[in-house]
Structure 1
């Protein structure tokens, strides 16, 4: 987005959905312009007015504020009030698949959120994740072996997509043969038109139910077997919640990890001084991965919240039933959080950045995603003396807003 484009925006009050591909490619100038109006500004997503939190301190506060809730019923009532009606029209009865897609942790508040997160949290402890590091390194080696000798690789298709799918399938205990089908359906959810969502949701639910049946017959030392026992034996998890949890772990662990890797490597390619630092000192890789998450946050808008009561934030009074979205990507580029925030600097502090969220919705798989990103960066450095973009950086395109998802990342290697 050019400086002229940014200056032409009517801010605050801009409709972010109208900004188009240039905004998808580089939203940060828009966020900076919004931040000039204050840390909390009103924008629109289509016809809906939303308080967008673009300041770091205010974003961190909002993500931990229990008055900003994600309950879907509350959000529907707020939407009805905004439209001046008593209630929204009764939607068509949801199928099992559609209910699964909307009954996930990111759309839950306590106490259900804590109950469900507690069931899976044990699989993502730092001890458990570190125990998987050797296997992650093996998978990365296998993926790079498969493209050995090629002068050009496509990092997403060749490595960054199959890696987390493989790691998560093994963690859950789902068949390797279902990886391709799951990837197809997960991508379809993001990129197919809305009228296909019911069909795709049904296919996804059916796929996950086959995994559930498999682990009923053949339980093992894996997370899916534990969830099946929680439903079948302990009765603390409904079937809908079980299927939703499995889908969410696969989906949320797949896309964000893939694009943490690709966004980070892209950033290195346009900051050769930082790449040189990593070549000289591999011990900087963990810090570099955190800096990737800060510098170009994959999920740069948090899930929609609604104010359950009036909330004062950043000098703004947010009324009950107002919608709020935290722009984590904007907060990570706030000069009040970090000096020179638009510069990639793997030696600078990334303490308490918002790249993996904050509060009760902090990304459950953060540690596992970071281990995978670290392994890919290390492999690139170890295997290739030169790594560079195979196309000009300006030609790289992003799939959708509000996530930072590259279409592809072609690299010339040697």
Structure 2
């Protein structure tokens, strides 16, 4: 019998993972639809799976595997618009797409964004200082990375609020309902028009570079898919890294006070936030092209597989005190950004944004506190993204 992943699971996945790991590093699960997936829980097993070429991500093969599981009744978008990107591809297509995107995330280009990140963070904190209570997500954790990724991609400022609403619809639910499909279609239409403008009048931004890069050979579907991936993944990870990390500190006050007293600890703290309660719960879907063995379990060919990054990052076989927040520990070997070919290309930007965000936030509001009981916090029911819906805080200026 497969375990059900429902709202209770998403509210506290670590409690489930802790129990399941006692029975082995792999488990069968479903999302209430009766269709089973395999969930890999152990650190070593997850790391190996993320780099295993027998676990594929090609969108056509994945859809065929899902269709077989759903007996042809799977509800999904009518086209692949917005789905053809490097997270849904294997080599050599993945290699070509990743190379085109990687040019925007070199160390030099990321470092050049520091002034934009710092000025945006301080502007947001200035606005927050006018209130005693705010939703930290809407006031700070969301607009900071949204502004940065839109700057990188040259998205007009008046479009950013709409873009965020689309993203919330895409990541805020497990159910492939009409609202999600509508948001997806509207976002694809928006990006198609934007790319057309870049062809006519290219600038210095990332989308212009993709459109004009003859070596990358991105077709229309790949351009739209890559643009959508950059816009959504380019900020969603950081939003929830800031949100989850702040909550971890509010639940562990001595560490919040230590970081306020010594901001040089913040880069290490960001790594620990990534390990302890990272922004990505599970890596995106894979499927087996042949039988693979995980622990003592054989997963047959044609099966859907999820790698639970959050579970791997609390595996006691790899981390001595996995359920304790400890920014002074050397936890840089976490899998929060994945591993192997699909390691997050935007990881350097997410790290820089988060380091700047926590430094500025804690310097400005060292007495920040939760404004609601912990039990009143709610999490998005999403298999991939692990993030809060709101984070009400008292700033205690």
TM-score range, shorter chain: over 0.9
Unaligned runs of 5+ in 1: 1-11
Q: Residue 218 and residue 395 in structure 1: after superposition, are their counterparts in 2 closer, same or farther (change >3 A)?
A: same
Map of 2:262 onto structure 1:
281
Contact 1:264 1:289 in 2 (8 A): yes
- Which digits, 9 at most, give the CA deviation of each residue in 1:349-392, with x for residues without a partner? 11220111111111111111111111111112211241111112
Instruction: Please point out which of 208, 221, 228 is paired with 1:247.
Output: 228
Give the number of equivalent residue pairs: 392
Contact 2:277 2:310 in 1 (8 A): yes
Map of 1:215 onto structure 2:
198
User: Residue 32 in 1 paired to residue 13 in 2?
Assistant: no
User: Residue 290 in 1 paired to residue 276 in 2?
Assistant: no
Contact 2:133 2:394 in 1 (8 A): yes
Q: Residue 349 and residue 175 in structure 1: after superposition, are their counterparts in 2 closer, same or farther (change >3 A)?
A: same
Deviation at 1:42, TM superposition (A): 2.4
User: Residue 42 in 1 paired to residue 25 in 2?
Assistant: no
Give the root-mean-square deviation of aligned CA atoms. Answer: 2.0
Q: Residue 363 and residue 159 in structure 1: after superposition, are their counterparts in 2 closer, same or farther (change >3 A)?
A: same
Unaligned runs of 5+ in 2: none
CA distance in 1, matches of 2:294, 2:16: 21
**After the TM superposition, which of the residue ranges 199-208 and 49-58 deviates more from structure 2?**
199-208
Contact 1:380 1:387 in 2 (8 A): no
CA distance in 1, matches of 2:46, 2:76: 35
Instruction: Please point out which of 273, 278, 281 is paired with 1:300.
Output: 281
Map of 2:5 onto structure 1:
16
- Which digits, 9 at most, give the CA deviation of each residue in 1:161-188, with x for residues without a partner? 1111110111112212211111122222
Map of 2:237 onto structure 1:
256
Map of 1:63 onto structure 2:
50
CA distance in 1, matches of 2:206, 2:299: 40
User: Residue 73 in 1 paired to residue 60 in 2?
Assistant: yes
Map of 1:113 onto structure 2:
94
Contact 1:175 1:211 in 2 (8 A): no
Deviation at 1:81, TM superposition (A): 4.7
Map of 2:305 onto structure 1:
324
Question: What TM-score do you get using the length of structure 1 for normalisation?
Answer: 0.89
Q: Residue 171 and residue 93 in structure 1: after superposition, are their counterparts in 2 closer, same or farther (change >3 A)?
A: closer
Instruction: Please point out which of 402, 406, 412 is paired with 2:388.
Output: 406
Deviation at 1:397, TM superposition (A): 0.9
Q: Residue 239 and residue 80 in structure 1: after superposition, are their counterparts in 2 closer, same or farther (change >3 A)?
A: closer
CA distance in 2, matches of 1:377, 1:331: 25
Contact 1:267 1:292 in 2 (8 A): yes
